[in-house]
Amino acid sequence: MTCHDRILLDDWHVVADLEHLRQHSRQSAELFEQQLDINLRADGSAEVRHKETGRVLPSQIKYGFVWVCVGTPSRDIIEIPEAGEADRYVVSGGSFPVRASGLRVVENFLDMGHFPFVHTGWLGEEPHTEVAPYQVELTPDDEIIATECYFYQPVASPTAEGGIEVEYKYRVYRPYIVSLYKTNPAYPDRKDYIVLFIQPVGPEDCVVHNMLCYLKEGMNEPDIRWFMQLIFAQDKPILENQLPKRLPLDPRAETPIRADKVAILYRRWLRDHCVSYGAIPAA
Amino acid sequence: MIRLYDYELSGNCYKLRLLMSFLGVEYESELVDFYPGNRHKSEAFRKINPLGQLPVIDDDGLVLRDAQAILVYLASKYDGSGKWYPRDNPDLLGQVSQWLAFADAITATASAARLHDALFYTHIDVGACRAGAHRLFRILDEHLFFAEEAGQDWICPGDHPTIADIACFPYIILSEEGGISRMDYPAIRRWCDRFKRIPGFTVMSGVFPAGPAADEDSKLAS
């Protein structure tokens, strides 16, 4: 299945973590089932070629990742002010292939209901299973924002000591880019920030890249990476065993509950933008 | 206190976390950024283990590498019951050693396939690794089937698991991350469930606890 979604083809997608590329100086990647060759030039920039045709694709390095556009870029890479704040660590937690649609990964990331069952003892635990009502909106910039998301978490962060009630804010920027802002116990007015840049390898395969922007106070880089991998590796087998592997966009395909409010809007938003790659389109 | 040079997603490190949890031995983890940092290949870490591999333990100055060797050491030193590594039973000891070597072969195949699929070890011949893992799983499945027929729950004879069970468990339970299904190995699947019910069992990311055990009345073939 080839990707025909203009909104995806004309957008920027991460295809490599710069740190990984520096270790090897060249690597291959796959985007929309097309093979790419990525080379690190001597001046530190990257060159991305379409393997079959040899065509050089538009690429940029930003946030420590190589971004590429296989079509004609119609907009810029998203702006993330948190990545430029000096009092934050900005680290990649490592890129992980997942045998599932990247849209499924976005939806799982937006879901609080699974915390006590998949991240038991870390991001949730029984009997604190209820997802309290939260707010969801579509912004004038065409992003999805979910706010007032509260959840009790036994170990909410790499350096947490004891359970706390955590506040989340979720944000979907693009079909394959999603982030969250999360309570930092040391700062009542600021939040830690995590974003997933998902590389659609195929309709049922993706690579999940991520950038973690944690406030430095009381934190250290190895623990940030450890925690991200601990949590993500708990999600991975669940994602890979979810069926169907593509995200169904028909409202009747799967039965949502109140806690899925943000996922319902996400699916509708994907329908409205005619995103079908990685999805089962509505009938 | 024992220091474990540890990586969360490493099945070989998990072997040691399991045994220390079963034995109630306290330890502290020194996190090594295996992926994506590749710190186990750094000059600093090679001073601790010239092979550049995890896990390593430092127990009061005694530095040991190799998961199976460390299992032997920890069980010999900290298991008062002598059941996890039965030093005084030559027959059993021979069998434990045999299955420890088998566990190493599982690492070379099932774990390698997982590294290929999950952590971008693209130079690995994943087809050969998967085929090799299936050969080993077939052998173990048959062994466990006949063990069950003889009333035995564990890889080696006796009423208690040994470090051979611990050594084999992680890369079997994680095999699907390397594209190796356990669908065709029912005796292995039952053994995995029994293993998960050993008191002190602990999970790692990618491993889930067993559901509640069936009560005696509803057990098949009772």
CATH number of the domain that A45 lies in? 2.102.10.10
Contact assignment for B8 to A229 by CB distance below 8 Å: yes
> Would the pLDDT of A1 be above 70?
no
Instruction: With respect to residue A105, please indicate whether it lies within any of the assigned structural domains.
Output: yes
Find the domain containing A38 and state its range: 6-68
How does pLDDT run across A146-164, given as a tens digit for each residue?
Answer: 999 999 999 999 888 889 9
Tokens of residue B173, six digits: 């339970």
- Please tell me which residue of chain A has the smallest CA distance to B206: A234
Contact assignment for B9 to A229 by CB distance below 8 Å: yes
A170 in the same domain as A63: no
Size of interface A-B (CB pairs under 8 A): 47
Instruction: With respect to residue A94, please indicate whether it lies within any of the assigned structural domains.
Output: no
Write down the pLDDT at residue A36. Answer: 97
| A133 and A241 Cβ atoms separated by less than 8 Å | no
| A182 and A147 Cβ atoms separated by less than 8 Å | no
* Residue A115 CB contacts under 8 Å (≥ 6 apart), including other chains: A123, A124, A151, A153
> Contacts of residue A239 in chain B, CB cutoff 8 Å?
none
Spatial separation of the C-alpha atoms in residues A62 and A23, rounded to whole Å: 18
How does pLDDT run across A55-101, given as a tens digit for each residue?
Answer: 999 999 999 999 999 999 999 999 999 999 999 999 999 999 999 99
| B24 and B200 Cβ atoms separated by less than 8 Å | yes
Instruction: With respect to residue A276, please indicate whether it lies within any of the assigned structural domains.
Output: yes
How does pLDDT run across A208-242, given as a tens digit for each residue?
Answer: 999 999 999 989 888 999 999 999 999 999 999 99
| B9 and B205 Cβ atoms separated by less than 8 Å | yes
B90-196 folds as Glutathione S-transferase Yfyf (Class Pi); Chain A, domain 2 (1.20.1050)
A264 in the same domain as A198: yes
A202 in the same domain as A123: yes
DSSP state of B40: G
> Contacts of residue A237 in chain B, CB cutoff 8 Å?
176-177, 206, 208
Which CATH number is A218's domain given?
Answer: 3.90.380.10
> Contacts of residue A233 in chain B, CB cutoff 8 Å?
8-9, 205-206
DSSP state of B214: P
- Please tell me which residue of chain A has the smallest CA distance to B174: A237
A165 in the same domain as A34: no
Residue B48 in contact with partner chain A when CB distance is under 8 A: no
3-state secondary structure of B116: helix
Q: Which of B180, B205, B207 to mutate to test the interface with A (most CBs of A within 10 A)?
A: B205
Of the residues A68, A88, A119, which one is the last residue of a structural domain?
Answer: A68
A262 in the same domain as A150: yes
Contact assignment for A236 to B177 by CB distance below 8 Å: yes
Look at chain A and report how many structural domains it folds into. Answer: 2
A21 in the same domain as A115: no
> Contacts of residue B212 in chain A, CB cutoff 8 Å?
none
> Contacts of residue A96 in chain B, CB cutoff 8 Å?
118-119
- Touching B: A residues 223-242, CB under 8 Å: 223, 225-226, 229-234, 236-237, 240
Residue B98 in contact with partner chain A when CB distance is under 8 A: no
Contact assignment for B36 to A240 by CB distance below 8 Å: no
Architecture of domain B2-78: 3-Layer(aba) Sandwich (3.40)
Instruction: With respect to residue A64, please indicate whether it lies within any of the assigned structural domains.
Output: yes
> Contacts of residue A236 in chain B, CB cutoff 8 Å?
118, 177, 205-206
Count Cβ atoms below 10 Å from residue B47 Cβ, excluding itself: 8
| A93 and A225 Cβ atoms separated by less than 8 Å | yes
Of the residues A68, A84, A114, which one is the last residue of a structural domain?
Answer: A68
Instruction: With respect to residue A93, please indicate whether it lies within any of the assigned structural domains.
Output: no
Contact assignment for A229 to B205 by CB distance below 8 Å: yes
Contact assignment for A229 to B36 by CB distance below 8 Å: no
In degrees and rounded to multiples of 5, residue A182 shows phi and psi of -140, 145
Write down the pLDDT at residue B220. Answer: 53
Instruction: With respect to residue A11, please indicate whether it lies within any of the assigned structural domains.
Output: yes
How does pLDDT run across A10-50, given as a tens digit for each residue?
Answer: 999 999 999 989 988 899 999 999 999 999 998 989 999 99
In degrees and rounded to multiples of 5, residue B123 shows phi and psi of -80, -10
Q: Where in chain B is the domain with CATH 1.20.1050.10?
A: 90-196
Give chain A's mean pLDDT: 95
> Contacts of residue B177 in chain A, CB cutoff 8 Å?
236-237
Per-block mean pLDDT, blocks of 10 residues, chain B (222 long)? 97 98 97 93 96 98 98 97 96 98 98 96 96 98 98 97 98 97 98 97 95 62 46
Give the global pTM. Answer: 0.94
> Contacts of residue A230 in chain B, CB cutoff 8 Å?
8, 205
Burial class (CB in 10 A: 0-12, 13-18, 19+), B140: buried
Spatial separation of the C-alpha atoms in residues B69 and B91, rounded to whole Å: 19
- Touching A: B residues 5-34, CB under 8 Å: 8-9, 31, 33
Q: Where in chain B is the domain with CATH 3.40.30.10?
A: 2-78
DSSP state of A218: T
Instruction: With respect to residue A132, please indicate whether it lies within any of the assigned structural domains.
Output: yes
A168 in the same domain as A122: yes
Write down the pLDDT at residue B222. Answer: 44
Instruction: With respect to residue A123, please indicate whether it lies within any of the assigned structural domains.
Output: yes
